[in-house]
Structure 1
Amino acid sequence: MATLEPSLVRWIEGIIGTTLTQVHELTGGASRNSFILTGANEAKAFLRLDAGRGPLSGTDLTLQREYSVLAQLQGTGLPIARVYDFSPEHNAMLMEFLPGHTSYQKTGSPAEEASIRRELVQAIVTLQAIDPRRVSALGPEAGGSLGVAISGDMHTWGKLYDERATLHDPLIDFSLNWLSQAVPDAQAPAVIVHGDLGPGNFMIQDGRIRALIDWEMVRVGHPLEDLACIIARALGAPFGEAAEHIANYEALSGRAVDLRKLDYALALVLVRWLIAMHMALSKPSALQNVPMLFAFRQINSLSLIEALCRCQGVEFQGPPPQLRGADPCRIVFQYSRDCLNELAQDAAMAASAYKLRGIVDLMAYARDFIDYGPERYEREEIERTAAILGRAPGSGAQAHQAICRYARSVNMAQARPLLEFLRWRAEREQVIMHTSLGVRQDNRIRIG
Structure 2
Amino acid sequence: MGLKQEKRVLDMLAAWGDGIDGSRPEVERILSAFAENIEWQLWVPGGPVIRGRDALRAEIERQMGYVTNNHCNTRNILSTDRLVMTERDDYCVNQGRPMPHSMVAVYELDEDGLICAWREYLDTADLARKKGVPLAEAAGPQPDVLEKSMQATESPAAAVMEQKLRAFVERLTGGRITGMERLPRWRPAWNLSVENDDGSTLGLHIRGERGGDVSPFPDLRREADILTLLGAHGVPVPKIHGYCEDPQAIVMDWVPGTRDLSGMDENGRRTLARQYVEAMAAMHQLPLAPFVEKGIAQPRGVEAIGLAGLTAYYPLYERNKTTPQPLIEFALGWLRRNVPVHRTRPSFVQYDSGQYLHQDGKVQALYDFEFAMIGDPLADLASARMRDNYEPLGECFADLYRYYCELTGEPAEPEVVRYHTLLFSTVSAMQFSATVTTPKPGDPHDTYIEFDIALRRVVVHALAEAMGVPLETRALDIAEKGPNAALLDMLEDAVNQLEIAGEFQRSRHRAVHKLVEYLGRADAMESELRRLEQEAAEQLLGRRFGRYEEIDAALETFVRQAGAEYDERLLRLFMTQIERRVLVYGGTAIGGSASHIDLPPIL
TM-score relative to the length of structure 1: 0.79
Partner-residue secondary structure (3-state), 2:388 = helix
Aligned to 1:309: 464
Distance between the aligned counterparts of 2:229 and 2:172, measured in 1?
A: 20
- Residue 93 of structure 1 pairs with residue 250 of structure 2: yes
Choose which of 48, 60, 83 in structure 1 pairs with 2:240: 83
- Contact 2:174–2:196 (8 Å) recurs in 1: no
Aligned to 2:26: none
Partner-residue secondary structure (3-state), 1:93 = strand
Distance between the aligned counterparts of 2:305 and 2:192, measured in 1?
A: 35
Shift of 1:53: 1.8
Distance between the aligned counterparts of 2:393 and 2:523, measured in 1?
A: 31
- Contact 1:323–1:368 (8 Å) recurs in 2: no
Aligned to 1:190: 346
- CA-based RMSD of the aligned residues comes to 4.0
* Matches for 1:217-296 after TM superposition, within 5 Å: 217-240=371-394, 241-281=396-436, 282-283=438-439, 288=444, 290=446, 293-294=448-449
Which shifted more, 99-108 or 120-129? 99-108
Q: Aligned AA for 1:446?
A: P
- Contact 2:351–2:383 (8 Å) recurs in 1: yes
Aligned to 1:178: 334
Q: Structure 1 285/398 Cα, relative in aligned 2: closer, same or farther at 3 Å?
A: same
Higher relative contact order (CA 8 A, sep 6+): 1
Distance between the aligned counterparts of 2:486 and 2:554, measured in 1?
A: 39
- Contact 2:422–2:463 (8 Å) recurs in 1: yes
- Contact 1:341–1:357 (8 Å) recurs in 2: no
List runs of 5+ in structure 2 lacking aligned partners. 1-61, 63-158, 501-505
- Contact 1:85–1:94 (8 Å) recurs in 2: yes
Shift of 1:104: 1.7
* Matches for 1:298-337 after TM superposition, within 5 Å: 298-315=453-470, 320-324=473-477, 330=481
- Contact 2:483–2:523 (8 Å) recurs in 1: no
Distance between the aligned counterparts of 1:84 and 1:331, measured in 2?
A: 54
TM-score relative to the length of structure 2: 0.61
Deviations 1:8-50 (A, max 9, x none): 65554443233445433334364x6444351443442535454
* Matches for 1:197-216 after TM superposition, within 5 Å: 197-198=353-354, 201-216=355-370
* Matches for 1:9-24 after TM superposition, within 5 Å: 11-24=168-181
Tell me the percent identity. Answer: 18
- Residue 398 of structure 1 pairs with residue 538 of structure 2: no
Shift of 1:346: 12
Aligned to 1:69: 226
- Contact 1:18–1:40 (8 Å) recurs in 2: yes
Distance between the aligned counterparts of 2:445 and 2:296, measured in 1?
A: 37
Shift of 1:259: 1.9
Distance between the aligned counterparts of 1:295 and 1:24, measured in 2?
A: 26
Distance between the aligned counterparts of 2:562 and 2:294, measured in 1?
A: 31
Q: Structure 1 102/289 Cα, relative in aligned 2: closer, same or farther at 3 Å?
A: farther
Larger-Rg structure: 2
Shift of 1:217: 0.9
Deviations 1:66-91 (A, max 9, x none): 12222222332211122233354653
Q: Aligned AA for 1:418?
A: L
Q: Aligned AA for 1:246?
A: Y
Partner-residue secondary structure (3-state), 1:264 = helix
Choose which of 35, 41, 44 in structure 1 pairs with 2:202: 44
Shift of 1:170: 1.5
Distance between the aligned counterparts of 1:263 and 1:36, measured in 2?
A: 41
Deviations 1:397-436 (A, max 9, x none): 2221122244356555764443343233333434444554
Number of aligned positions between the proteins = 433
Deviations 1:159-215 (A, max 9, x none): 3223335454322122233334422136612211112223xx423232211111221
Q: Structure 1 364/211 Cα, relative in aligned 2: closer, same or farther at 3 Å?
A: same
Choose which of 258, 270, 274 in structure 2 pairs with 1:102: 258
- Contact 1:124–1:227 (8 Å) recurs in 2: no
Shift of 1:132: 1.8
- Contact 1:102–1:203 (8 Å) recurs in 2: yes
- Contact 2:306–2:340 (8 Å) recurs in 1: no
Choose which of 530, 536, 546 in structure 2 pairs with 1:380: 536
* Matches for 1:411-426 after TM superposition, within 5 Å: 415-426=567-578
Shift of 1:60: 3.6
Distance between the aligned counterparts of 2:357 and 2:594, measured in 1?
A: 27
Q: Which of the two has greater strand per residue?
A: 2
- Contact 1:21–1:38 (8 Å) recurs in 2: yes
